[in-house]
Amino acid sequence: MSPPTAASTASPAGTRKVAGASAVAVTILVFSFASTLVKRSGTAAELVAFWRMVITALVWNGIVLASGRRPSWRNIRRAAVPGVFFGLDIAFFYLGATHNSVANAEMIGAMTPFIVVPIGARFFGERLDPRALFFAVFAFGGVAMVLFAAPATGDASVRGCIFGAIALCCWAGYIAGTRRVRGEMDVASYMAAMTPVATIAVLPLALIHGHLLTISSHGWMYIVLLTMMTGVLAHGLMVLAQSTIPIGTIGIAQIAQPALAALWSFLLLDETLRTWQVIGMLLVLTGLLGFVLLNQRFGRRGATINGSPAEPIAATAD
């Protein structure tokens, strides 16, 4: 038997990288449809958020039970704070998307790294490159252009922007809370523990709206589709991707997500995008890219000095 060649030994690793890159691409594509699916459902955002969380909690707990384990109250207590933030993020993001244009909602959500990175520096000792603040200002200027250039007769509204800002803060809280318990549970156990808490957090909003069961078949179809795409498939693919693709690379790739979401709203919802809004979106994406890249490089240099591995900064969205 002939010895393995370099090409044959490298093939499995190359295949895994291709699979990981494909998983990242599909994950970004799936997440970019979320806002459009919520608006196409024709169902109140509070109800979409609640039933999405119910189904997601059932699926993830089913995965844990199928693996021969049982959900743990200890894990639920650990995941309680992130779970509350996650549930409120989903609810207010959906409210923002249904009371706003998709472009506005996504550009507000794209500001996550500008909140999460300083939180990481303040509370978790992560390193922040001061030069990245220039790109933050750059991106915030782009968001202002997107918001203020929105057509007066479109879906954009002040209330939708407020909902989006609340969702942004809740998402940052979720990431910070997850940072504290990361490494103590595997992904399935964490999702199984966190999603029931998130469901309870959304329940009051659904009860205030009422009519929890009076959802059309059209609405149920989109709720199930949204749940399986974003709550199960995208999360599972992200886990697969993280096993072969650096988190920082994933974070950079996710910068394309808001632009894709705006594209789907233009093609599928007939939403209008003005020229100044497109320019503003380009400024946001450029600023976000520069901010993430600078902090990744700064973090790696700091890790080299301290003798410990650096953790790349990942940009995430709902």
Exposed/middle/buried for residue 296 (C-beta within 10 Å: 0-12, 13-18, 19+): buried
pTM, two decimals, is 0.79
Tokens standing for residue 315: 């940009």
- Over residues 1-38, the pLDDT tens digits come to 555 554 444 567 677 778 877 888 888 889 889 999 99
Task: Write out the two tokens for 316.
Answer: 């995430």
pLDDT attached to residue 126: 64
| Stretch among 45-49, 154-158, 302-306 having the lowest mean pLDDT | 302-306
SS3 129: coil
In terms of Cα–Cα distance, which of 23, 67, 12, 17 is closest to 254? 23
116 CB neighbour count, 10 Å cutoff: 22
Q: CA–CA separation, 62 vs 141, rounded Å? A: 45
Query: Whats the size of the chain, residue-wise?
Result: 318
Q: What is the pLDDT of residue 317?
A: 42
Averaged confidence pLDDT in the chain: 80
Contacts of 218 (CB under 8 A, 6+ apart): 41, 42
Is the pLDDT reported for residue 118 higher than 70? yes
Residue 168 has pLDDT above 80, yes or no: yes
Most confident of 10-24, 98-112, 140-154: 98-112
